[in-house]
Structure 1
Amino acid sequence: MKKSLLTLTLSLGFVIANAQMGSLAFSIGLPQNEFKANTDATGFGGDLSFAFPFQKGTPVYLGLDINYMVYGRNDENLDLSAEVRDQNGNLIASLPIPLRVVNTNSLFGTHAFIRAVAPLELIQPYGEVLFGFRYISTSTRIEDRSDERRWAKDPDDSNLISRQTVLDDWILSYGFGGGFLIKVAPNFFIDLRADYFKGQRAEYFDSEDTASWTVTLSDINSDDPDSIDGDNLGLETQPRESTTDLLNIKFGIAVKF
Structure 2
Amino acid sequence: MKKLITSLLIILITGSSFAQMGSLSLAFGLPQNEFRENTDATGFGGDLSFAFPFQKGTPIYLGGDINYMVYGLNSRDYDLSADIVANGQIIDQLVIPLRVTNTNSIFGTHLFMRAVAPFELIQPYVEGLIGFRYISTNTKIIDRSDDQQWADDDDSDVITRKTVLDDWIFSYGYGGGFLIKIGPSVFIDLRADFFKGQRTKYFDGDDTSSWTIEFNGDPNSYDRETVSGDNLSYETDPRESTTDLLVLKFGVAFKI
Q: Same fold (TM over 0.5)?
A: yes
1:46 counterpart residue number: 46
**Aligned ranges 1:93-172 → 2 under 5 Å:** 93-157=92-156, 159-172=157-170
Distance 1:110 1:170 in 2: 11
- Quote the offset at 1:217 in angstroms: 1.6
Identical-pair percentage: 66
1:241 counterpart residue number: 240
SS at structure 2 position matched to 1:75 = strand
- Quote the offset at 1:13 in angstroms: 2.0
> Is residue 10 of structure 1 aligned with residue 20 of structure 2?
no
**Aligned ranges 1:162-241 → 2 under 5 Å:** 162-218=160-216, 219-220=218-219, 224-241=223-240
Using a 3 Å threshold, how does the CA distance of structure 1 residues 58 and 253 change in structure 2: closer, same or farther?
same
- Quote the offset at 1:146 in angstroms: 0.6
Using a 3 Å threshold, how does the CA distance of structure 1 residues 249 and 20 change in structure 2: closer, same or farther?
same
Q: Is the 8 A contact 1:221 1:227 kept in 2?
A: no
Using a 3 Å threshold, how does the CA distance of structure 1 residues 229 and 2 change in structure 2: closer, same or farther?
farther
In terms of mean alpha carbon deviation, does 11-20 or 25-34 score higher?
Answer: 11-20
Q: 1:201 corresponds to which letter in structure 2?
A: R
Deviations 1:38-79 (A, max 9, x none): 000000000000000001100000000001000001000111
- Quote the offset at 1:2 in angstroms: 6.4
- Quote the offset at 1:124 in angstroms: 0.1
Deviations 1:6-38 (A, max 9, x none): 445423320211111000000000000000000
How large is the Cα RMSD of the aligned pairs?
1.5
1:29 counterpart residue number: 29
**Matched positions, count:** 255
Q: Is the 8 A contact 2:83 2:220 kept in 1?
A: no
Q: Is the 8 A contact 1:83 1:95 kept in 2?
A: yes
Unaligned runs of 5+ in 1: none
Q: Is the 8 A contact 2:85 2:220 kept in 1?
A: no
SS at structure 2 position matched to 1:15 = helix
- Quote the offset at 1:4 in angstroms: 6.1
Distance 1:4 1:152 in 2: 37
SS at structure 2 position matched to 1:35 = helix
What is the TM-score when the length of structure 1 is the normalising length? 0.95
Q: Is the 8 A contact 1:130 1:174 kept in 2?
A: yes
Using a 3 Å threshold, how does the CA distance of structure 1 residues 249 and 115 change in structure 2: closer, same or farther?
same
Unaligned runs of 5+ in 2: none
Where has structure 1 moved over 3 Å in runs of 4 or more? 1-9, 220-223
What is the TM-score when the length of structure 2 is the normalising length? 0.96
Distance 1:207 1:227 in 2: 27
Using a 3 Å threshold, how does the CA distance of structure 1 residues 136 and 221 change in structure 2: closer, same or farther?
farther
Distance 1:248 1:23 in 2: 15
1:55 counterpart residue number: 55
Q: 1:234 corresponds to which letter in structure 2?
A: S
Distance 2:89 2:113 in 1: 71
Using a 3 Å threshold, how does the CA distance of structure 1 residues 7 and 92 change in structure 2: closer, same or farther?
farther
Distance 2:25 2:124 in 1: 17
Q: 1:130 corresponds to which letter in structure 2?
A: L
